[in-house]
Amino acid sequence: MSKYLVTGGAGFIGSHLVDRLVKSGHEVLVWDNLSTGKAENVNPLAHLVRLDVSKRNLQFFIDRGFDTVFHLAALPRIQPSFDSPVETHQSNVDSMVYALEHARQFGCKVIFAGSSSIYHDQYANPYTFTKVLCEQYCEMYNKIYKVPVAIARFFNVYGPRQIEEGAYATVVGVFEKQKRKNVPLTITGTGEKRRDFTHVNDIVSGLVAMSKDRWNAEVFNLGSGRNHSINELAAMFNHPTTYIPNRPGEATDTLADIAYSMEKLGWEPKHQLEEYVKMTISK
């Protein structure tokens, strides 16, 4: 049995990772300030500590002796970061430094949740820029302090527990809610932006595979290797649509090159967006 710390473990992706680790018989501690996560998402066999990950909390490391830190805590999404660049930096970059510093002092591995938005303009929005800084800190701590660290770049993640409303909602989650409420699906711009939609269970499988080795700041794309336009996604729901103004700071296309991840991790995505939507709308 291993001991894991999952920051952001009450969130959409983090809670699924916690479920997988607990199911495998491991001890799991969750750090989350519940700003976007929910306590009810956390597996009852894991231990939830409500705190701000952007503050130092060495005592938990001293007491627990973690093998691996999965650092998923962040203020996510591009659009909210325009209005809160300072808070985005504090939440994302400061927490990254503390996670790495804890790992340096206590000898554990770090798996960092990066973002595919890095492949777009790195200066297009505060959120993406903080992810760039986090990756640079990962590389520096590995180079100077030999902290074993790996970087997972997530592509557009969907699945159960995704956020459906508010500034941090995912497009798949928004469409699901609009379908349930029988209101038109809102498509931004022309709807021709393309996204690599990746099921949360495939993301979790990739993270678990990354934790089985010690890495030197290698980057692993976790995506489906396919992309769809927002119009194509909307068509899968077979529901009326309406168009709203385009949003700034977002990439035109995302598409994961997963060859390296498949080769090095022995991992491959298993889920298809079309099947998920079909299952969802049939409920």
DSSP state of 5: E
- Residue 250: pLDDT over 90: no
Residue 68: its H or E element: strand 68-71
User: Residue 54: its pLDDT value, please?
Assistant: 65
- pLDDT recorded at residue 229: 98
Bridge partner list, 109: 68
Q: Provide the angle, in degrees to the nearest 10, between the axes of the packed helices 12-23 and 200-210.
A: 60
Considering all CA atoms of the chain, what is the largest pairwise distance in Å, rounded to the nearest integer?
55
DSSP state of 48: E
pLDDT the model gives residue 62: 57
Average pLDDT of the chain is 93
Tell me if 252 sits within 8 A of 193, measured CB to CB: yes
Helix (H) or strand (E) holding 115: strand 109-115
- Residue spans of the domains in the chain: they are 3-158+199-225+255-269
pLDDT tens digits for range 31-89: 999 988 999 999 999 999 998 776 666 556 656 678 999 999 998 888 889 999 999 99
Half-sphere exposure of 267 (CA within 13 A, CB side): 26
Domain 3-158+199-225+255-269 carries which CATH code?
3.40.50.720
pTM, two decimal places: 0.95
The Cα 54–Cα 163 span in angstroms is 22
- Given pLDDT bands bounded at 50, 70 and 90, which one contains residue 102? confident
